[in-house]
Chains A and B, each alone.
Chain A
Amino acid sequence: MSSASGRGRSVRTRPPTILVALAALGAVFFLIPLAGLLKQTPWSDLPELLTSDVVLDALRLSLISSIAAALISLIFGVPLAWLLARVDFPGRRFVRAVVTLPMVLPPVVGGAALLFALGRRGLVGGPIYDSTGFLLPFSLWGVIVANTFVAMPFLVVTVEAAFASIDQRYEAAAASLGASRLTVFRRVTLPMIGPSLAGGLVLTWARALGEFGATATFAGNLQGRTQTLPLAVFVGLESDRGAAIAISLVLVAISMLVLVGLRDRWWGQR
């Protein structure tokens, strides 16, 4: 802190004790589980645990499904965000509410809803199964759908805010130079929201990676087919504590990497 006045000693005001105490407790609350995890880690068995079939299968499925979910969210979420931010259509508020619902909905409920809609006897899943024999639940595609359902809202919310906040006169400038609306979107609007888009995409991917409830409900828990890292942790706690801890460490490491990567764009430089 700088001095309170332009002359003399620098005067520092002491922060209120009660605030410091509560803040410290709050921070410790987040630190303790991490310490607990590290304390229980069977360090010597770790290499073997991390290369076991269960862990490698789960890691592979998690990476495929979370990356696929992030890409699908990108393809559909960006136009959706643009529509919500820029086009005044009837029912816009309703659409926005429906799209962001999975952010507050318990994921288990989301998974159940997906099952009722896309399952073998579901609203959409039934006719598809009857005509093609294709079944979404309990497959890798089911994992991807569940991940997308839960994670895409994060992209939409982030990118919609970005679309709404950029100076639209730049788009008017591009249009006056003869650019069609699609060219304006591609060459001006998208690059302008680039940082937000990147941040939203990473957040979406991270949310998909950690997804548990909807996946378990909609896609099940089959090792090698639908069992992602969080599901493997859950199963491991019952059967193989060491594996559960090893996978948890992997997820902590990935999350920390994401946070470090996002630091500049997201939380602002301090």
Chain B
Amino acid sequence: MSGLEAHIVVRRDEHFEVEVELKIEPGQTVVLLGPNGAGKSTLVECLAGIVALDAGQIRLDGVPLDDSERGVFVPSEDRHLGIVFQDYLLFDHLSVTDNVSFGPISRGVDRRAAHRLAQDWLEAFDLDEMGDRRPPELSGGQAQRVALARALAAEPALLLLDEPLSALDTTTHARLRRMLATHLDRCAAPRLLITHDPTDAFLLADKIYVLEDGKVTQVGTPDEIRRHPATSYVADVAGTNLFSGICDNGEITIVGTEFVLHAAHTGTSGPVLATVHPRAIALHANEPHGSPRNTWRATVEAIDPLGDITRVLLAGPIRIAADITPAAATALELRVGGETWVAVKATEVDVSGA
């Protein structure tokens, strides 16, 4: 069996235990999405060989890396991992080339061959001019590519990306996410990306694992998760409506449709990502009048009661999810297949560079 199979059980203290079943196939990107304190970093430490499991096992390409029952524990240096850390952790005292060749040299490749290998990776990442520089001289985007090149040059059997985008401001964030999306495909190994950012998760994942309070609460493709969130956390962050569109003077034409969303403040024009929080969407029985800039008629596709809120999935010019109170759902007499009016204020449409 190739790829990663893990059943991870770690007790941090008597109140907090992480228990996760995880499966990643070669060439697949799994995103582990969860709020801070959910146990994401514990999971990374287990996979990286910094923390040993209390129970369960980790198998990579069929080889046990950690097995509490059989007493197996492979140390970090023998796990064949590639890790991209949150703040990259490039070695400032080494040149870019020496950073990238660090893995091959550590694994016994002779210095000349390792440097040639590093050169190839740098070319692949458009960094061929940067080989002699030191990491502090690089821009954020270059540093990210060097970190990725360094991880991939080690020919990892598993690529771990630990919050690789979270230290960035919003403009750089979007650009580096695009870059990451293109470059991830160069790695044929299973890929695990850890993040608390739902947008990153939706755009990069083949499959999302949602981690809350040490447990996986939902597994699915981005689309499945967006459409049928299993918990209120998922509904809250992962249920965000996300559209790519072309922005022109506050008018965003959603890609693949002729639908136009109006946004209040947009300094940007060109390709953008528009997000609308489900809670920011109002439903009306009749056409609303007054302030909302965006109103349209939609068909109710699904109604999911999630405790305090009811998620209503709406088909129409664009597919969008709305969270309303159960009382409102009753008052509106919503039913699957029925129709309703949708209203979104322009100020509730968030726009960021795509």
Contact = CB atoms under 8 A, between A and B. Distances in A.
12 contacts: A173-B91, A175-B49, A175-B76, A175-B77, A176-B82, A177-B82, A177-B106, A177-B151, A178-B77, A178-B154, A179-B102, A191-B93
B98 to A, nearest CB: 9
Given A180-B106, A187-B102, A172 B93 contact: no
Size bracket, chain A contacts: 10 to 19
Nearest to A168: B50
Contacts of B177: none
B80 A169 contact: no
Contact of B89 (A170, A179, A181, A183): A170
Sort A-B residue pairs by CB-CB distance and give the 9 closest, nearest first. Answer: A179-B106, A177-B103, A178-B106, A191-B93, A175-B76, A173-B89, A178-B107, A176-B83, A175-B77
Nearest to A183: B106
Interface in B124-150: 150
B77 A176 contact: yes
Contact of A177 (B49, B50, B93, B150): B150
Interface residues of B, number: 24
B154 A177 contact: yes
B93 A176 contact: no
B264 to A, nearest CB: 33
Nearest to A191: B93
Interface string A165-195: 0010110111111111101000110011010
Interface of A: 167, 169-170, 172-181, 183, 187-188, 191-192, 194
A175 B82 CA distance: 10
Interface hub of B50, B75, B102 (most chain A Cβ within 10 A): B102
Contacts of A177: 77, 82, 102-103, 106, 150-151, 154
B273 interface: no
B85 interface: yes
A169 B50 CA distance: 10
A180 to B, nearest CB: 6
Contacts of A169: 85, 89
Contacts of A167: 89
A192 B75 CA distance: 23
Interface in B240-298: none
A178 B151 CA distance: 11
Given A175-B49, A187-B91, 15 more contacts: A169-B85, A169-B89, A172-B76, A173-B83, A173-B89, A173-B91, A174-B102, A176-B48, A176-B49, A177-B82, A177-B102, A178-B77, A179-B106, A180-B106, A181-B77
A189 to B, nearest CB: 11
A192 B89 CA distance: 12
Nearest to B153: A177
Contacts of A176: 48-49, 76-77, 79, 81-83
A172 B85 CA distance: 10
Contacts of A194: 93
Nearest to A174: B102
Nearest to A173: B89
Interface hub of B49, B93, B150 (most chain A Cβ within 10 A): B93
A187 B94 CA distance: 9
A192 B50 CA distance: 21
A194 to B, nearest CB: 7
